[in-house]
Amino acid sequence: MEDEYAQSELPSLSLGLFGHPGSGRRTLLEALQRALTARGWGTLRHAPPLATSTPSRLGNPSRTITDRLHVTGRTAARRYLWSVLPTASKQVDRFLAGLEMVEAGVLVISAEDGVMPETRAQARLAAYMGVRDWVVVVTKLELVEEDEELLELIEVDARELLNDSGARGDEAVIVYTSAARVLAAPADHDSRAFRALLRTLEACDALPMPAREREAPLWMAIESALAQPRRAAHDKPRTWVAGRVRQGALTPGASVELLGGGVAWPGRVIELRSTGSARQRVRAGEPAEVLLEGEGDNLEDPALDRVHVVCAPGSARARDRMFVEVQVLLPDALDPDTRYREGLQATLHIHATKVACVVAYERSFPPPATTLQHWIWLDVPIVSEPGDRFLLREKDEVVAYGRVIEATRPWVP
């Protein structure tokens, strides 16, 4: 099958489908495939195994590998990467790592269940990490079609959830449909449910496009990786890495640098793919699967598991402290030992990685919903830039979220 995503030059947007298990996200994707086919836009296409489910290459649990449904498709206006992330309540590390691929959200709500706790958790985490623009799809309409009051309550609840999380809830388009009815009668293109799916695609086409820095130096966070066994003893080590190109572009043969966690290694792009199709160039905003060849034995070193960025040589530096602005979330009623304070030891989630850190804040016990600026000391150096979004977690609770203001004190290998 021709890859409509890889072959098209249309703008690319990465969408995350959020909702509780059983909300109908996968059924919605199947129904959207019928709508795309009916319009002559091709079909949704499943991504290759590396981008969807990759075992940790060295058995290190600190490497967060996502296991998500990942498909691509296009409309007349755009190309889309659709991702269904794992459950946030049970696999929060993998959920947060998968958010690196998400630029806008589709909130899928079952009309029968309404906005469930898992849906709230996913939407809040995504909004904290910078997902501001949303389309809301209320599906399974066949179960409560006559209950207008219930549908109104769901709409109010969805908008309040997004607004309270810092997203643009008032601007979100809300579509009501029944994916099951579309799948049961795929030839009925005049049905209310089918027309609603077309409105869903139109709403996605109307979402704002992020700015693309295609002329900037290459920068890509590594979401997953898989080492390639050597065929002969004299072969150089190679590994596949997958992620979304944030800025610049990747081309076969290009020299790159692998950074993070006390590692700064040179490498070279041997093979380049996007959603499983061979490419000669992958640009900012597009997903990439990259076969890298290292120098010496570096790509077989256990320290490789701490690498989290592929960039142009000399264009970035790993640093062990950041000056940040955070929004404190932890209520006063919780354990005083976990309140936001000087010396708080927490886990920082940024890009597709996580690292232990210490909060350098001169005062203690700020009230919830307080905005603070202070330093964060990192256990290992990472690559970050002003404006990068992050979360701080302590004892499985999100205590704060924010953005990097300044990254200083470069780590020197």
Beta carbons of 256 and 313 less than 8 angstroms apart: yes
Residue the block writes with tokens 């009309």: 111
Residue type, 258: L
Could you list the pLDDT tens digit for every one of the 413 residues in the chain? 455 566 678 899 999 999 999 899 989 988 888 888 887 776 666 655 444 333 333 333 333 333 457 788 888 899 898 988 887 677 888 899 889 989 999 999 999 999 999 999 999 999 999 999 999 999 999 888 778 899 999 999 999 999 998 899 999 999 999 999 998 888 888 888 899 999 999 999 999 999 999 899 999 998 888 777 767 666 777 888 889 999 999 999 999 999 887 788 889 999 999 887 889 999 999 999 999 988 666 665 555 666 789 999 999 888 889 999 999 886 544 555 557 888 889 999 999 889 999 998 877 667 767 888 999 999 988 899 899 999 999 888 899 999 999 877 554 44
**Edge-to-edge strands of the sheet including 79-84?**
45-46, 69-74, 79-84, 12-18, 104-110, 134-139, 173-176
- Quote the CA–CA distance of 197 and 194 in Å, as a whole number: 5
Per-residue pLDDT, 300: 58
Per-residue pLDDT, 64: 36
Equal fold, 4-205 vs 219-311:
no
Compute CA 401 distance to the chain's CA centroid, rounded to the nearest angstrom. Answer: 16
Residue the block writes with tokens 């298990």: 21
Residue the block writes with tokens 């898989």: 226
Structurally, at CATH architecture level, domain 319-410 sits in Beta Barrel (2.40)
- Quote the CA–CA distance of 89 and 143 in Å, as a whole number: 27
**Domain at 219-311: CATH code:** 2.40.30.10
Q: Where are the domains of the chain?
A: 4-205, 219-311, 319-410
Residues forming beta bridges with residue 328, ordered by sequence position = 400
Per-residue pLDDT, 55: 37
Residue 360 CB: number of other CB atoms within 10 A?
Answer: 15
- Quote the CA–CA distance of 287 and 274 in Å, as a whole number: 6
Beta carbons of 165 and 127 less than 8 angstroms apart: yes
Q: What is the pTM of this model?
A: 0.86
Structurally, at CATH architecture level, domain 4-205 sits in 3-Layer(aba) Sandwich (3.40)
Per-residue pLDDT, 336: 55
- Quote the CA–CA distance of 217 and 177 in Å, as a whole number: 43
Question: What residues contact 49, with CB distance under 8 A and at least 6 apart?
Answer: none
- Coil, strand or helix: which one is 230? coil
